[in-house]
Structure 1
Amino acid sequence: DGGKARVIENSEGDRTTPSIVAYTKDGEVLVGASAKRQAVTNPKNTFYAVKRLIGRKFTDAEVQKDIGLVPYGIVQHDNGDAWVATADGRKLASQEISAQVLEKMKKTAEAFLGETVTEAVITVPAYFNDSQRQATKDAGRIAGLDVKRIINEPTAAALAYGLDKGQGGDRKIAVYDLGGGTFDVSIIEIANVDGEKQFEVLATNGDTFLGGEDFDKRVIDYLVEEFNKDQGIDLRKDPLALQRLKDAAERAKIE
């Protein structure tokens, strides 16, 4: 837009879309904010933080840890991959869940541009291995996209801040990425090669179980305990109250 990148608003008017997918009892598929709003009342059919599972085997330590942290089912497919399961036992590959989010992004772009979108560049954490990157490409294909490239998220962040346009010689930068479910730190070298900036991730580390969702959970757990002490009522037994509490905790965190 005028030579500058623009983040397109989705159908709800937001520039960000939660990576949450829900399946309702009547067969409807909800993606983003609508899925998030009904998460507490439909926890076993609402899938989030699936990026922790994509391209991983069921026996991976990260997957085993995740099983105890999410309300939905995580199961082993015949090939050993980690899949998710709905309340009625239907099994879904994590690529299928991610594809729903990518398809919403595709429709958002098409509504704004007024034309069909067929190609995409998708970002992934720098620590993703080949299997995870291929699974991400598969998710794009399921969503009807030709994935031209998979690039590292810290590299994308550096590009978004225009660090490929700056003058000067080689330099190293640190990129902090605190997301909804993960926290990563990457060291990137920006080198000037034949007049063009090239990015190389030298090192990356982080915590795949530290993000906005985890902050929300800590606040909610604290408030539930305090309310139980004061009123003798356990809000965990009231899904609607818990949903309101979650919404309030998230708003308080943001503000």
Structure 2
Amino acid sequence: VQKDISHVPYGILAHDNGDAWVQTSDGKRMAPQEISARVLEKMKKTAEDFLGEKVTEAVITVPAYFNDSQRQATKDAGRIAGLDVKRIINEPTAAALAYGLDKNGGDRKIAVYDLGGGTFDVSIIEIAEVDGEKQFEVLATNGDTFLGGEDFDNRVIEYLVDEFNKDQGIDLRKDPLALQRLKDAAERAKIELSTSQQTEVNLPYVTADASGPKHLNIKLTRAKLEALVEDLVKKSIEPCRTALNDAGLRASD
């Protein structure tokens, strides 16, 4: 928690019971369960809008490394959100189910590589058939709580800022509105480069100086993106090796 404090834009303080609570900009103090409940309420409404009917029950996924108290806290958040939580399951298990890996015959071992927005997790799962039913066992899990998609976005943002500064002599790091537009554009560019070899980041009127408005127009190739994030990808490999080692397996298994 102490390490997290310097990375978040809100206050984190100790409650009377020793738990870490969040303090909002208006001074309100909230338990983590309350904040999780707000997210679940939003997901509940999204599901209801899509289905056209009330949603009262849910299965909620959590990271495989969550302990019993964290799982119970998640269940409590679901209850606060008005949901009857039928089950808490591990996220890698849910990913395996979503890809239909339980439909294949025989026993198997799989690795689930989960690079989220702010964190990275890798889990080694064994899928075994017991009495005609598939059972999932998480053999090992590892990861990095300070590695995620945002880090990849930030590399693109830094590149765009540096290129614009070279061209126009203006540092967009000092312009919060321009930075927000860049953040959105960087994420879009990253997604586009998943299927294209090249994309163009075009932000008209991104800023202005005494001579008038300035426009940002920079080409970004997949090769350049890969070079920008190469060390981040390498950073994710060691947790994979550790998880395999903890599970007593090799990549070939």
Report the CA distance shift for 1:232/1:66 in structure 2 as closer, same or farther (over 3 A): farther
**Paired position in structure 1 for 2:101:** 163
TM-score by length of 2: 0.71
Aligned residue identity for 1:125: P
**Paired position in structure 1 for 2:73:** 135
Tell me, what secondary structure is at the counterpart of 2:189? helix
Report the CA distance shift for 1:234/1:92 in structure 2 as closer, same or farther (over 3 A): farther
Offset, 1:234: 3.5
Offset, 1:231: 4.3
The range that moved more, 239-248 or 77-86, is 77-86
Matched, 1:175 2:140: no
**Paired position in structure 2 for 1:116:** 54
Which of 70, 85, 90 is the aligned partner of 2:8?
70
Q: Give a deviation string over 1:107-148, Cα, whole Å, max 9, x none.
A: 122223232211100001101111211111111111111111
Matched, 1:153 2:86: no
Tell me, what secondary structure is at the counterpart of 1:158? helix
Q: Distance in 1 between matches of 2:117 and 2:73?
A: 20
The runs of 5 or more residues in structure 2 that have no matched partner are 193-253
**Paired position in structure 2 for 1:106:** 44
Aligned residue identity for 1:94: P
> Number of aligned pairs?
192
Matched, 1:190 2:127: yes
Report the CA distance shift for 1:234/1:100 in structure 2 as closer, same or farther (over 3 A): same
TM-score by length of 1: 0.70
**Paired position in structure 2 for 1:207:** 144
Which entry has the higher C-alpha Rg, 1 or 2? 2
Offset, 1:230: 5.1
Report the CA distance shift for 1:70/1:224 in structure 2 as closer, same or farther (over 3 A): farther
Matched, 1:244 2:181: yes
The runs of 5 or more residues in structure 1 that have no matched partner are 1-62
Q: Distance in 2 between matches of 1:209 and 1:151?
A: 23
**Identity %, equivalent residues:** 90
Aligned residue identity for 2:28: R
Root mean square deviation, CA, Å: 1.7
Offset, 1:235: 2.4
